[in-house]
Structure 1
Amino acid sequence: MAYRDLREFLKILERENQLIRIKEEVMPEPDIAAIGKSAPDLNNGPAVMVENIKGYNNSVVLNVHGSWKNSALMMGLPKNTSVKDQFFELDKRWSKYPVKPIWVDDAPVKEMKITKDINVFDIMPLFRVNKYDGGFYLSKALTVTRDPDDPDNFEKQNAGTYRIQVKGRDLLGIQPLQFHDIAIHLKKAEQRNEKLPVAICIGNDPVLNLMASTPIEYAQSEYEFAGALKGEPIELTKSENGNLDIPARSEIVLEGYIIPRSRKIEGPFGEFPGSYSGARLQPEIKITTITCRKNPIFENLYIGMPWTEVDYLVGLNTSLPLYRQLKKDFPEVSAVNAMYTHGIGVIISTKSRFGGYGKAVAMRLLSTPHGMPYSKIIIVVDETVDPFNLSQVMWAMTTRVRPDKDVVLIPNAPGMPLDPSSDPPGMHTKLIIDATTPVYPDTWRKVSPLTPPPKSDYWFNYMKNLTK
């Protein structure tokens, strides 16, 4: 692709009129969060560079992933590429995994190094994402840890995205939910009462942030997937402390360790379902080293009532792994749309092999690593219905569902604790709506769905070109 890091991608966005620069002085609060909230609502959903923040020296960039136009440009596609076409392009590149990274010594992220008198406020223009957050949050950091039982296994190294609360000059809080890979690493370290080395990488190649928020298998490398999506190796370098591999071209890296067997209050935080989570006892991170580029750019993520940047960021990269996991067992599955609240809502398009097939596909989704805790409402439609077209989905819902036969409730199932409807937190009743056309041995009144007139696609594209 034509970019290697965040800075180079911002140049592409600016060239494509997908970047706004705010040069006048703004207040950290409430201005930065308000800008992050407003940017995705603009017609083209541009990224925003805030260059002059009162009380701080460095700039902040928001909404880098905050539109389907930006998403397409991230993948090197024309910015008007449809969501469905982006989905299948992502699927095509997924098959190229793994593309091995390369390691460099002269890494841009090592231009500056701080080991004494560490103060994260000197480096990052911090702000509360939402009004009643318990503090400042790093909401778009790539966090790297290794498996203490297998520290030399590169594939078991995790590069994930977790909410991180700034608690002091060199102290952070982190939320590692039980089903996240970092929680596995932490549990193993705490069984030995050992510190878990950690590197928190901020301002990354957008493909790296995409993969850090993607639910892949435990022993798969986010770096190698990022290389597959870009079609070229990701540049890595070694961390200063511990044996961690970090992006060589990040803007800022905070290195330290998770304090073992200690839990302190973290939160509340305005979360992706559009509500505040409560305050909980969570681990803390001690920062021992900061490396960064000169004049580093602080990238952060506004999270709020959908749709915000996070919904664009985790939309396709949640849909694609679920699609591939389902298609391996159910080859009739044609597409999966898990863009709604990080897969709490999922729409599956499939051809039915026999009666009840749609329900079977939905139950398989609920046994996948991501679908089990996250997915709560699953709608299954025919292969002729585009799951990314809500008008078509609603047509299937209103003309194919028999409530007495096609709606299934599964009580007392695993759930996402950040979903405010989860009661108790982490438990759900799952809902399956089978909106597929019944096939034998299930039967119903035979109907013939209407099909578009011949040459509809031709005239659609013809008229679309006239409007450019």
Structure 2
Amino acid sequence: VDGDAINLFDILPLFRLNDGDGGFYLDKACVVSRDPLDPDNFGKQNVGIYRMEVKGKRKLGLQPVPMHDIALHLHKAEERGEDLPIAITLGNDPIITLMGATPLKYDQSEYEMAGALRESPYPIATAPLTGFDVPWGSEVILEGVIESRKREIEGPFGEFTGHYSGGRNMTVVRIDKVSYRSKPIFESLYLGMPWTEIDYLMGPATCVPLYQQLKAEFPEVQAVNAMYTHGLLAIISTKKRYGGFARAVGLRAMTTPHGLGYVKMVIMVDEDVDPFNLPQVMWALSSKVNPAGDLVQLPNMSVLELDPGSSPAGITDKLIIDATTPVAPDNRGHYSQPVVDLPETKAWAEKLTAMLANRK
């Protein structure tokens, strides 16, 4: 379907996702865009998950978060006074959906990463209008442009933070071509108050690249838990080379590509604390932290505008909580080695458990 013959309200089985939403939304679509200054660079081609409000028969409102690759593509296009061509795919292979939600580096290809997960090249097709690489097997493809320097009110929408965003000026997408299978499957993402589908999708997809990026610069990093609200809170375990080292890791987490917009609070723990084991994390917080010196507050830092605590929207103070054991030259406190059970404790615990289980 082309041009003025397009009517998204007829083609798609749209419905309101949250009670207070301002309209119908596409929230599990992959949006494909290219770097206008380097369009043939496969790695700089971006596949991302961005929610879009259906505002007219062939018009969408799209939110390009400034820290995301599509926002950089749009910025480059608008500097040249050009629209940004995009392809939007619905009903995608779960692997490419997972990669679209993963905060990769700017020149890392989502298709190559999806291929690595499949252990075979990821299949792609050519979109008929834009010629972009799109996921093979998608149910629906919408092609068009983000119109240069055009903004309209979009929202409100029930966001992944569990709060509604208000109506804000967002970009306008004009759809010029729609291709779809016969009887296409329409897919939406359930999000809102945690835990929902988006937490299970984005949580692991956030932990892994953040861990890889930190590990490349700080081999001492042991694990990263960024499961909570797309990494607005991260818990990181690390060995320490010297005093203050854990805080340096926390600062770097906040300045990774994902951290610039999301990592608002970091809890640093020792290497013997599992950041995915909340009782262990609570023990570290309660026994290791001295508020006089272990809270590092960073004023006027960037965060995505959807963070409801930011003021003004997009600006926040960030916080590092250092729950690690001090090492030289930081000699604060009087910490012993952690308490260790006697060698026979585990065996006796197993015997007592068995005795209680068999008690009549």
Give the structure-2-normalised TM-score: 0.92
Residue 447 of structure 1, aligned match among 330, 336, 341: 336
TM alignment of 1:264-303, pairs within 5 A: 264-303=152-191
Q: Give SS of 1:434's match.
A: strand
1:256 maps to 2:144: yes
Residue 203 of structure 1, aligned match among 91, 95, 99: 91
Q: Which residue of 1 aligns with 2:134?
A: 246
Paired with 1:304 and 1:283, the residues of 2 have a C-alpha distance of 23
Paired with 1:343 and 1:139, the residues of 2 have a C-alpha distance of 19
Q: Which residue of 2 aligns with 1:237?
A: 125
Letter of the structure 2 residue corresponding to residue 302 of structure 1: Y
Q: 1:306 to 1:332 in 2, by over 3 A?
A: same
Aligned length: 350
CA contact (8 A) 1:378 1:432 kept: yes
Q: CA deviation at 1:123?
A: 2.9
Q: Please provide the CA RMSD for this pair.
A: 2.1
Bigger radius of gyration among the two: 2
Q: CA deviation at 1:218?
A: 0.9
1:397 maps to 2:312: no
CA contact (8 A) 1:166 1:172 kept: yes
377-386 or 182-191, larger mean C-alpha shift: 182-191
Q: Which residue of 2 aligns with 1:164?
A: 52
Q: CA deviation at 1:351?
A: 0.9
Paired with 2:124 and 2:245, the residues of 1 have a C-alpha distance of 45
Q: String of CA shifts for 1:158-209, please: whole Å, max 9, x gaps.
A: 1011110001121111001221111111122222322221111111111101
Residue 35 of structure 2, aligned match among 147, 150, 157: 147
Letter of the structure 1 residue corresponding to residue 284 of structure 2: A
Paired with 2:28 and 2:2, the residues of 1 have a C-alpha distance of 22
183-192 or 324-333, larger mean C-alpha shift: 183-192
Q: Which residue of 1 aligns with 2:62?
A: 174
Q: 1:434 to 1:454 in 2, by over 3 A?
A: farther
CA contact (8 A) 1:123 1:296 kept: no
Paired with 2:316 and 2:249, the residues of 1 have a C-alpha distance of 19
Structure 1, unpaired ranges of 5+? 1-112, 464-468
Q: CA deviation at 1:247?
A: 0.8
Residue 324 of structure 1, aligned match among 204, 212, 222: 212
Q: CA deviation at 1:416?
A: 2.0
Q: Which residue of 2 aligns with 1:430?
A: 318
More strand by share: 2
Paired with 1:211 and 1:422, the residues of 2 have a C-alpha distance of 27
Letter of the structure 1 residue corresponding to residue 135 of structure 2: P
Paired with 1:190 and 1:429, the residues of 2 have a C-alpha distance of 30
CA contact (8 A) 1:267 1:277 kept: yes
Q: Which residue of 1 aligns with 2:297?
A: 409
CA contact (8 A) 1:197 1:241 kept: no
Q: CA deviation at 1:124?
A: 2.2
Q: Which residue of 1 aligns with 2:15?
A: 127
Q: String of CA shifts for 1:122-178, please: whole Å, max 9, x gaps.
A: 332211111111100111110001111111111111101111000112111100122
Paired with 1:148 and 1:193, the residues of 2 have a C-alpha distance of 11
